[in-house]
Amino acid sequence: MPSVRIRTGTKGREETIQMLMNATGENTKSKALMAAAEHYLEDKRNKERVIDELVTNPDLVEKLSTSELPMELDVSTRVGHEHE
């Protein structure tokens, strides 16, 4: 596997990557970034699955809604930063 060199460039980036390394328990920048990327992709899939479940079963929203914290379903879709 080819080696990967990650340059941070700014103090803010270095601090962020160091915090990411601490949070993920990884000892290299590339492993920490991979862990974060994998988490992001899994989180996105899970959120899409929950949204699909709510859209296909709107009764769930009604069951979760209370007088103190009402919920309603308003369906729109977005992928990344693009609006459909």
pTM value is 0.61
Question: Would you state the structure tokens that stand for residue 8, as one six-digit string?
Answer: 């941070």
- Partnered with residue 79 across adjacent β-strands are 82
**Contact predicate 52/58, CB 8 Å:** no
pLDDT digits (tens, 9 = 90+) for 1-59: 566 666 667 778 889 999 999 999 999 999 999 999 999 899 888 888 887 888 888 78
* Alpha-carbon span 53 to 48, nearest angstrom: 9
Measured CA to CA, the distance from residue 24 to residue 20 in angstroms comes to: 6
Q: Beta partners for 16? A: none
